[in-house]
Chain A
Amino acid sequence: METPVPMSDASTAPAAAASRPMLEAVGLSKRYEDGHLALDNMSFQVYPGQVYAMLGGNGAGKTTTINLFLNFIEPTEGEARVDGIVTHREPLKAKERIAYVSENVMLYPNFTAMQNLDFFARLGGKTKYTKEDYRKVLLRVGLEEAAHNRRLKGFSKGMRQKCGIAIAILKDAPAILLDEPTSGLDPKAGLEFIRLLHDLRAEGKAILMSTHDIFRAKEISDIVGIMNGGKLVMQRTHDDLEGENLETLYVQYMAGYMEEVG
């Protein structure tokens, strides 16, 4: 017998006044060719000005969800929608509205930070940026000026991550997908990143973030979804989580799921 999943309505979360969700998963399922069910009937919405954090262990289905929004894979059932556009039907149109930061941003090691930004900005259709724009955005993500014209092959993981975030900002898309964005960032850079997310949310971006970082998820998110075994096992708004210990909840839901599976 299915255990009812405690859900709260995302549309009631702060900043969800917009008429329709920017990112929406509707009964999204993905079964791979080897039979493995990576995502099972997942539904959620992220409205403009909202941050949605997907929490979960390895193999929970977080990255699969992001891959479905990016149309890197096609759903077995259900739909991933960006601004109402079904990603597997009109992938190019949907991607015009998405910016993406991956877990391990490597970029082109023989390009400078500026050159990487220029290439990806132009690839995202932004052709009018100047060097000054690139400089400003790199400073905004916390990359010191001396590194702007250095090749990336000498960059640390955190510095590359900052470049990746800068690329996402430059695209100026209404939806942002972040796959483990704080991985590799030191505590100071992590704080700067949280501030940056606040700014982006204030600008009205709909942000979907996968993370292992429970504390940051609680700090920044309007909605938190806990995933396990391809299922969304819990979804709470920021307000619902007031006074609750997210870490305890996380462990409880994960353990409960494990018992259920066991």
Chain B
Amino acid sequence: MLRLLIEKELRETIGTTKFAVTFAVCALLILLAFYVGARNYQVSQSEYEAAKAENLKQMEGLTDWNQVDHRIFLPPQPLATLVSGISNDIGRTVEVRTRGELRPQDSRFNADPIYAVFRFLDLEFIFSIVLSLFAILFAYDAVNGEKERGTLRLAFANAVPRDTYIMGKLIGAFLALSVPLLIPILLGCLLLPLLGVPMAGGDWVRLGMLILSGYLYLGVFLTLSVFVSALTEHSSSSFLLMLVIWIFAVLIIPRTAVLVAGRAVDVPSIDQISYEKNRYNAQLWAEDREKMNTYWRENPPSQDAPREEVMLKFRSFMTELSDAREANARELAGRLNEDRLNREQVQQRIALSIARLSPASVFSLASSDLAGTSLDLKQRYLEAANAYQQMYEAFIREKTGSSGGFMIMIGGQSEKEPDPIDPMELPAFEYKQPETASFVEKSMLDLGLLLVFNLVFFAGAFITFLRYDVR
């Protein structure tokens, strides 16, 4: 009986022109998303290689490491091809100095602002927007449509248990939509390595889970549509209601969550923080200038003292001052940054908690976590850049005897031309993705929530139908 009902659902859905047209559009969009994603990866990869080469090239001919203007770059992430997340919004380049705060700049959207307007066509967009509508389109009249057609009366004039019927309907509807969609998705997966996206074992696991989360999301709208269809008398009502729910879930709740969280927690802006830091730095400079004056008053250069010795002593004093100033500035910056980060995290937690009322947000969070393009990407990149900064500072200190800051050139023009620096000696920056398990673990909450949404709406549809008036 269950098999018969599932077969009927499959045949009823797949055999329609509506399905053929919708499926063709979705299949095309999915393949396009994989193709565009892979092409974007290729472009990003060549831009990344070119930027790295350019960085080394501009060091050619320099003879002093202190003159180096060194940059590091965020390599493109293979799965960002499918779920761009925040990867296009955050800066890809960090100008590395031996001291001071690092700030990523030159985001993809900064370089190509047109994409910021229309965004990229990625798999997350297709699932989140297109496939959720696809699910609604095919399930909004699952129950009340049958009642309107009179087929429900006819079916239940037979010895059909209601639980079997609704199970058949839910399973059949899900299979009818999900199995055909698997074809373009698998084809798209094959395209990735063919188009030069290096997919490691862990990437495939994450991609598999990404598709699973997409299917769970599709299931949410499917079960919800059946549920609403069993709650309402007319298919026109259930369609309208589902559209309203969709608008809230996809467009309103995520944006409202951010607005509410923004109102609830006051996070100082970057400019405010910079103003605080600059003011403190200016104050430190003023104090150091006073100390420098004091130094010369207390240590007036005598006529017979060798100039180099005087300058060495002064340089040592200045380095001490500079280190102390840097430490103070760093301490304040650290405090301000930490405070901002804490507030930002509280704000994010509130925003995410509210946003998670919407399955669309939950899917978005799960997919970006799995793709490694969630909000954490910026933090991970900054942490990697900060760790590199320490290596870089040690390297420059080793090469120049100083870690930058206040520079005093000692000695006159040497007769011997200084040797050019070798940029290849620079420590290499490697951005390492966390382990696959870490991505998976991070996405578990949202995957679990998607499952809960499915179960709740499934149970809702099931229980409502058991008491449904089939007349």
> Do these two chains interact?
yes
* CB contact list, B143-183 vs A, under 8 A: 148-151, 153-161
Instruction: Assess whether B149 is in contact with A123, with CB atoms less than 8 Å apart.
Output: no
Across the interface, do B154 and A115 meet the contact criterion of CB distance under 8 Å?
Answer: no
A72: Cβ under 8 A from any B Cβ: yes
Q: How large is the interface on A (under 10, 10 to 19, 20 to 34, 35 or more residues)?
A: 20 to 34
Instruction: List residues of chain A with CB within 8 A of the CB of B471.
Output: 67, 72-73
CB neighbours of B148 from chain A (8 A)? 106
**Quick check: is B15 within 8 A (CB to CB) of the other chain?**
yes
Taken residue by residue from 3 to 38, chain B's Cβ proximity to chain A (1 for < 8 Å, 0 otherwise) reads as 010001001100110000000000000000000000
Q: How far is the CA of A46 from the CA of B4 in the complex (A)?
A: 33
> Is B86 in the interface zone, CB < 8 Å from A?
no
Partner of B156, one of A70, A111, A119: A70
**A13 at interface by CB-CB < 8 Å:** no
Whether B394 sits at the interface, judged by CB under 8 Å, is no
| CB-contact partner of A72 in B11, B161, B470, under 8 A | B470
Question: In the assembled complex, which residues on chain A have CB atoms less than 8 Å from the CB atom of B1?
Answer: 123
Q: Evaluate contact between A111 and B159: CB separation under 8 angstroms.
A: no
A131 proximal to B (CB < 8 A): no
Inter-subunit contact A105/B12 (CB<8 Å)? no
- Report the separation of the CA atoms of residues A92 and B163 in the bound assembly, to the nearest whole angstrom: 13
Determine if B161 and A110 form an interchain contact, defined as CB atoms under 8 angstroms apart: no
| Bound form: Cα–Cα A93–B160 in Å | 10
- Measured CB to CB, the nearest residue on chain B to A179 is B153
Q: Which residues of chain A are within 8 angstroms of B156 by Cβ–Cβ distance?
A: 70, 72, 95
Q: How far is the CA of A106 from the CA of B159 in the complex (A)?
A: 20
Partner of B4, one of A92, A109, A122, A171: A122
A246 at the interface (CB under 8 A from B): no
Interface size class of B (residues with CB under 8 A): 20 to 34
What CA separation (Å) do A120 and B4 show in the bound complex? 10
| Chain A residues whose C-beta falls within 8 Å of the C-beta of B12 in the assembled complex | 108, 110-111
Instruction: For B150, list chain A residues within 8 Å (CB).
Output: 102, 104-107
Interface residues of A in 92-135 (CB under 8 A from B): 92-93, 95-96, 98-100, 102, 104-111, 115, 119-120, 122-125
Given contacts A67-B471, A108-B151, A111-B11, contact A99 B16 (CB under 8 A): no
Tell me if B153 and A95 are in contact (CB < 8 A).
no
Q: Measured between C-beta atoms, what is the minimum distance from B305 to chain A in Å? A: 102
What are the residues of chain B within 8 A of A49 when measuring CB–CB? Answer: none
Looking across the interface, which residue of chain A has its beta carbon closest to that of B14? Answer: A110
| B43 shortest CB reach to chain A, Å | 45
Kindly identify, within residues 53 to 78 of chain A, every residue whose CB is under 8 Å from any CB belonging to chain B.
67, 70, 72-73
Docked pose: A122 CA to B15 CA in angstroms: 19
Do residues A95 and B154 form an inter-chain contact, with CB atoms below 8 A? no
Nearest CB of chain B from residue A156's CB, rounded to whole Å: 15
Check: A48 CB closer than 8 A to any chain B CB: no
With most chain A CB atoms within 10 A of its CB, the pick from B153, B161, B470, B471 is: B153
Given A72-B471, A105-B150: A125 and B11 interface contact (C-beta under 8 Å)? no
Asked whether, in the complex, the Cβ of A119 is within 8 Å of the Cβ of B159, the reply is: no
Known: A119-B4, A167-B154. A95 touches B149 (CB 8 A): no
Report the separation of the CA atoms of residues A91 and B470 in the bound assembly, to the nearest whole angstrom.
14
Residues of B within 8 A of A174 (CB): none
Complex contact B149–A107 (CB within 8 A): yes
- Given the contacts A104-B150, A119-B4, A95 and B158 also touching, CB distance less than 8 Å: yes
B16: A residues at CB distance < 8 A: 110
Instruction: Give chain B residues whose Cβ lies under 8 Å from the Cβ of A123.
Output: 1, 4, 155, 158, 160
Is B149 a contact partner of A120 (Cβ separation < 8 A)? no
Q: How far is the CA of A12 from the CA of B33 in the complex (A)?
A: 76
- A115, B151: Cα distance in complex, Å: 14
Q: Is A230 an interface residue (CB 8 A)?
A: no
- Hey, which chain B residues are within 8 Å of A102, CB to CB? 150, 153-154
Decide: A119 and B149 in contact? CB cutoff 8 A: no
* CA A93 to CA B158, docked complex, whole Å: 9
Q: Does A181 contact B (CB under 8 A)?
A: no
| Separation of A167 and B150 alpha carbons in the complex (Å) | 14
A105 neighbours in B (Cβ, 8 Å): 150, 154
* A164 in the interface (beta carbon within 8 A): yes
Q: Which one, B11, B153, B161, B470, contacts A92 given CB within 8 A?
A: B161
User: Could you list some 23 contacts between A and B, CB below 8 A?
Assistant: A70-B156, A72-B153, A72-B470, A73-B471, A92-B159, A92-B160, A95-B158, A96-B159, A99-B157, A102-B150, A102-B154, A104-B150, A106-B151, A108-B12, A111-B12, A120-B158, A122-B4, A123-B4, A123-B155, A123-B158, A125-B158, A167-B154, A177-B157
Q: Which residues of A are at the interface with B, using a C-beta cutoff of 8 A? A: 67, 70, 72-73, 91-93, 95-96, 98-100, 102, 104-111, 115, 119-120, 122-125, 164, 167, 171, 177
Known pairs A72-B156, A95-B157, A111-B11. 19 more at Cβ < 8 A?
A70-B156, A70-B157, A72-B470, A91-B159, A92-B160, A96-B159, A98-B157, A99-B157, A106-B151, A107-B151, A109-B149, A115-B11, A120-B154, A120-B158, A122-B4, A124-B158, A125-B159, A164-B154, A171-B158
